[in-house]
Amino acid sequence: MSTDAISTLTAEMPSRPLVARLHEWVTTVDHKRLGILYILYALFFLVIGGIEAAIMRIQLIRPHYNFVSPGLFNQMFTMHGTTMIFFVVMPLLFGFANYLIPLMIGARDMAFPRLNAFSFWLTAFGGIFLYFSFLGANGLYGAGSAPDVGWFAYAPLTSQTFSPGHSTDFWTLSLLVSGFGSIGTAINIIATVLCMRCPGMTLGKMPLLVWLNLVMAVLVILAVSPLTAAQVMLLVDRYLGGHFFDTQAGGSAVIWMHFFWIFGHPEVYVLVLPAFAFISEIVPVFSRKAIFGYPAMVAASICIAFIGMSVWAHHMFTVGMNSNANTFFVLTTMAIAVPTGIKIFNWLATMWGGKIHFKTPMLFAIGFLFQFLIAGLTGIMLGVAPFNWHLGNSYFVVAHFHYVIVGGILFAAFGAFYYWFPKMSGKMYSEALGRLHFWLFVIGFHLTFDFMHIPGLLGMPRRIYTYEPGRGWDTWNLIVTIGVFFQAAGILIFLGNLLWSYFRGETAGSDPWDAWTLEWSTSSPPPEWNFPVVPVVRSRRPLWDLKHPSDPDWKYE
Amino acid sequence: MAGQRPLGLAEELMARSLVNCEKAREMGDRSSTNWRTRFAVQVIVLLCLPVGALAAPADPSFSPTNIFAPVSTPAHSIFGLSLFALAVTAAIFVIVFSLLVCCVVKFGKRADDDGREPPQVYGSNQVELAWTVIPILIVVVLFMATARVIASIQKAARPANAIQVIAIGHQFWWEYRYPGLKVVTANELHLPVSDPGHPTPTFITLLSADTDHSFWVPRLAGKTDLIPNHPNTMWFDPQQTGLYLGQCAQYCGTQHAKMLLRVYVQSGDEFNRWIEEQSQPAHASAAVSEGQRIFETTACINCHAVAGTAADGRFGPDLTHLMSRETIASGAAPNTPENLRLWIQNPDAIKPGSKMPAMGLSDHELDAVTAYLATLR
């Protein structure tokens, strides 16, 4: 009876008017729809941020080139950095967390569905507000001016003296607003994970993805709060006569750096832990083996979060801290390599002895492992403070963190897209297009970011709109720019693949990967209530237990 | 000399990768998949090459701002430490990357796969312990080496004969003061060469007049920031005469890119002569009195100083010995009369967004002011 009512309702859905369907997306509190909204929002800004990057790379294709003005170039790198961190990677990862966590812990929604919707719309408003600066920064006086203070907006460049008008205010307010959204989502994730797990799922039986997102959510609260505080102080400085960062009145520019980086470095782990989470799900399934060393993986994640709170000043080795402070931050920075290394070794051990299926998600996971290894090693070089006195603020550091964010996090996120696309859409993506995307992106990525290290070693600082000839930087910059076009082609193939597969793809079925976590036990896409019957689990891989009743996991855990 | 050590590293890298190839070949023979192994070997060698190449270009002719061509004590100790860090990370890379390639090559699903799941392994405490303890040991060693270099640079004592310079960052140029020598100049720093046997290091106090800047001349030292309200110091002892280039390395506003650094390291005699010349007041010439009058009755003197005249502005570079400098606009253009005239007429043509305003002078006035400035030797 009830099933009939449901199928009638489902059958009627497509015939409802477009406005009504869109209205549902706006008013929804369903974690899956909000997750998809986050992801679509992030994809939109990924394209925008990518265009900004391309503009910068064209400007730098040769010395003394005049493609854009210095002012516009400075706006481009400010907007590119702010957009990619706050309005691409964070929403993307929050989107997957939103979509997957309830499904993976056998819950029917997040703990606070309305807070969830509120958080998304705050984040969405923040991004739109930031981009409104292109149009409206001077209000009624005409054309706008986007912020041009850099994504870490060092004082006193942000003071009224050096940044008149409202461009810096757009930056401050948009991050303030989206920051509240992030904190809301973090609270929601913590409450969901702690309170909504299905019967049998103790903390020690949660999928690693859930664990890593739990740690990420704790870090968001710890990291975004100081940023929010700093933004409020900056607003007080700019409009209420405060002198926190106003160096002309005795304020401290260095205090802003501390505030920003005690947000900024944990933020790196906020972004990378969910990427670890994707890899920790994809690698076992496509190697056909249980994750190696689950307790060590959980411990390493918590360890990364702890140490990650005490490394921030390695972004400040050049600001003139005394030798004791520099030495301390060298130690913490190098220490964090240990738990990170443990993770890489465990993933490799998971692959070792398996039967690896080289589907697109696994290709991206292998790309992640390779690139994240290099990113970690250049990170160790940067952690060597005297080496950092050269490398910091050079193109080497730009190459390093793009290796982390693109080569690591974005590759993992692409893997996640292909892995969970069948679950979210009910359709299978095109494997051929997926591979094409992978190879184009690998080529583009390595052309751009491998060769970007070299001008840094040859003394090229970041954030310069042009450079002098005769410094030995020309060829490297040309190669770096060429790589951008391969990456752009890869992204277009990716978006095309998503669209084509959504409308024309084959039906995926509930469990196309023969996987082991709970989200694959329900239909694709899952019904609004996720599970017809709340599942009961006995191990970390409930579907393995179902598929291998004679040799279930719970015997060994 | 400096060129040889990193090449040695590159060779070592190659050797390591070849050793790994041998290992991989042995493994390949056992599983009788030679083509896979050969592919893996090629991939490993190919990917190790750029890592070696990174350390290879230690030649100043490769780039005048190469960090691997040091000419001072702190730059040399950073260089040594950098090579050590590169060697350690390269070794880790080769090992872990070889493991990854082995996984991919050895454990790919075969065409004749029987469809059964592989044996499930859940973990091993011994193995976890091993790959926790070994990295900890590596970290300890690298940390000790780093701490030693930090202390040797940051805690170095200042000898009595050290040259003292105050560098002040401005949007978008550098002001240099030699306290005690009564010299103020801009954008082109002159220093005496330091004999390693009897060093005369230079200690620079770093200040800022506005936003954050950073002093980075890669061949002389690592960078140190100039932050308003936060005086910093740095030191180096340039051991070869010559011109060393660099540029501002902390984003400071619109023209951050053209805030270039030029450091002239001279012999002791040349340096003393330069100081002697720079400490003189401006050279007066009746032939250019019209240009001087225009200069002193327009807004020029709000920002610029010419010692011994009415001009005593401090927002812009001191022009007392303007013609002793090879460049104008903080290194953005050669110091020729044509460039000087263009700079006064329309600064945006050379450096758009600089703080120098277009003075709106007539052609005649421009010629007169340029002629006046050309006498400031």
Q: Is B232 on the interface with A (CB under 8 A)?
A: yes
A10 domain-assigned: no
A532 close to A524: Cβ distance less than 8 angstroms: no
Buried b (16+ CB within 10 A) or exposed e, A79-92: bbbbbbbbbbbbbb
pLDDT 10s digits, A307-332: 999 999 999 999 999 999 999 999 99
Q: Which residue from B minimizes the CA distance to A74?
A: B254
- The single-letter DSSP state of residue A550 is T
CA B73 to chain A, closest CA, distance in angstroms equals: 13
The verdict on B93 touching A (C-beta cutoff 8 Å) is yes
Kindly list the residues from chain B whose CB atom is less than 8 angstroms away from the CB atom of residue A321.
none
Q: Which residue has tokens 């960062």?
A: A245
DSSP string for residues in A196-254: -PPTT--GGGS-HHHHHHHHHHHHHHHHHHHHHHHHHHHHHHHHS---SS-GGGT--HH
Give chain A's mean pLDDT.
94
* Span B237-258, average pLDDT: 96
Say yes or no to pLDDT of A138 above 80: no
Q: Each residue of B7-52: pLDDT tens digit?
A: 444 444 444 444 444 444 444 444 445 666 666 666 666 655 555 5
Nearest residue on chain A to B99, alpha-carbon basis: A348
Q: What is the mean pLDDT of residues B143-161?
A: 95
Decide if B78 touches A, using CB distance below 8 A: yes
Query: Range with the lowest mean pLDDT among A34-43, B111-120, B319-328?
Result: B111-120
Q: Note whether B348 contacts A: Cβ–Cβ < 8 A.
A: no
Q: What is the pLDDT of residues A421-443, one digit of tens each?
A: 999 999 999 999 999 999 999 99
What value does the mean pLDDT take over residues B145-152?
A: 97
Shortest distance between the Cα of B298 and any Cα of chain A, in A, equals 25
Is the pLDDT at B142 greater than 80, yes or no?
A: yes
When scoring A64, A318, A347, A411 by the number of chain B Cβ atoms within 10 A, the one with the most, hence best to mutate, is A318
The CA distance from B204 to the nearest CA of chain A, in Å, is: 13
Structural domain that includes position A513? 24-550
Q: Which residue of B has its CA nearest to A469?
A: B63
Specify whether domain B286-373 bears CATH 2.60.40.420: yes
B119 touches chain A (CB under 8 A): yes
A8 located within any domain: no
Say which CATH number the domain at A201 has: 1.20.210.10
Q: Are A418 and A434 in contact (CB under 8 A)?
A: yes
Structural domain tally of chain A? 1
Q: How confident is the model at residue B283 (pLDDT cuts 50, 70, 90)?
A: confident
Please tell me the total number of residues recorded for chain B in this structure: 377
All residues of chain A having their beta carbon less than 8 Å from the beta carbon of residue B81 are: 384, 386-387
Contact A180, A227 (CB under 8 A): no
Whether domain B163-278 has CATH 3.30.1310.10 = no
Cβ burial of A212 (10 Å; 0-12, 13-18, 19+) is buried
Q: Look over chain B and give the mean of its residue pLDDT values, rounded to a whole number.
A: 88
Q: Do A373 and B96 touch (CB under 8 A)?
A: yes
Q: How confident is the model at residue B274 (pLDDT cuts 50, 70, 90)?
A: very high
Give the span between the Cα atoms of A388 and B223, in whole angstroms. 9
Q: Is residue A80 part of a domain?
A: yes
The separation between the first and the last C-alpha atoms of chain A, rounded to the nearest angstrom, is 41
Cβ A386–B77 below 8 Å, yes or no?
A: yes
Structural domain spans, chain B: 4-107+128-154, 163-278, 286-373
Of all residues in chain A, the percent with pLDDT exceeding 70 is 96
In the chain, the amino acid numbered A309 is M
- pLDDT at position A1 is 39
Given a cut of 70, whether residue B96 has pLDDT beyond it is yes
Eight-class DSSP state of A63? T
Distance between B279 CA and the closest CA of chain A, angstroms:
31
Partner-chain contact A162 B210, CB within 8 Å: yes
What is the signed CA dihedral for B32, B37, B39, B43, rounded to 10 degrees?
A: 170
Asked if the model's pLDDT at residue B57 lies above 50, the reply is no
**Is B64 in Cβ contact with A471 (below 8 Å)?**
yes
Q: What is the pLDDT of residue A3?
A: 45
Q: Do B62 and A377 touch (CB under 8 A)?
A: no
Helices B289-297 and B363-373 pack at an angle, to 10 degrees, of 110
What are the tens digits of pLDDT across the range A87-126? 999 999 999 999 999 999 999 999 999 999 999 999 999 9
DSSP category for residue A407: I
Helix axes B34-55, A431-457, angle to 10 degrees: 30
- pLDDT at position B115 is 84
Which residue out of B88, B131, B233, B263 would a mutagenesis test of the A interface target, given it has the greatest number of A Cβ atoms within 10 Å? Answer: B131
Percent of chain A scored above 90 by pLDDT? 92
A519 pLDDT above the threshold of 80:
yes
What is the model's pLDDT at position A555? 87
A114 belongs to a structural domain: yes
Whether residue B67 lies within 8 A of chain A, CB to CB, comes out as: yes
A292 and B248 within 8 Å at the Cβ level: the answer is no
A71 CB neighbours in chain B (<8 A) are 254, 352-353
Q: Is B254 on the interface with A (CB under 8 A)?
A: yes
Pairwise CB contact (< 8 Å): A457 & B108: no
In this complex, the residue of A253, A337, A462 whose CB is nearest that of residue B229 is A253
Report yes or no on A490 lying in a domain: yes
Model confidence pLDDT, tens digit, residues B292-304 = 999 999 999 999 9
Is B150 close to A327, i.e. CB distance below 8 A? yes
pLDDT of residue B9: 43
Say if the Cβ atoms of A459 and B218 lie within 8 Å: yes
Mean pLDDT within B224-233: 96
- Which range has the worst mean pLDDT, B21-25, B184-188, B370-374? B21-25
Cβ-count burial A464-503 (b if 16+ within 10 Å, e if not):
bbbbbeebbbbebbeebbebbebbbbbbebbeebbeebee
Which of B137, B215, B229, B235 to mutate: most A Cβ within 10 Å?
Answer: B229
- The residues facing A507 across adjacent strands are A427
Which chain B residues are Cβ-neighbours of A366 within 8 angstroms?
100, 104
Q: Pairing relation of β-strands B232-236 and B333-334? A: unpaired
- Is the predicted pLDDT of residue A410 greater than 60, yes or no? yes
Q: Inter-chain contact B229–A74, Cβ cutoff 8 Å? A: no
Distance of CA A281 to the CA centre of its chain: 17
Tokens of A533: 């019957």
Q: How many CB pairs under 8 A join A and B?
A: 287
With beta carbons under 8 A apart, name residues in chain B contacting A353: 107, 118-119, 121
CB-CB: which of A74, A369, A389 is closest to B223? A389
CB contact under 8 A, B82 and A458: no
Q: Is B225 part of the contact surface with chain A (CB cutoff 8 Å)?
A: yes
**What pLDDT score was predicted for residue B39?**
65
Q: Residue A15 domain-assigned?
A: no
Higher pLDDT, B49 or A250: A250
Whole-model pTM? 0.92
Cα–Cα dist A331/A106, whole Å: 41
Is residue A14 pLDDT above 90, yes or no? no
Tell which of A387, A396, A454 to mutate to test the B interface (max B CBs under 10 Å). Answer: A387
Task: List the single residue in B with minimal CA-CA distance to A353.
Answer: B107
* Chain B residues 138-177 with CB within 8 Å of chain A: 139, 142-143, 146-147, 149-151, 153-155, 171
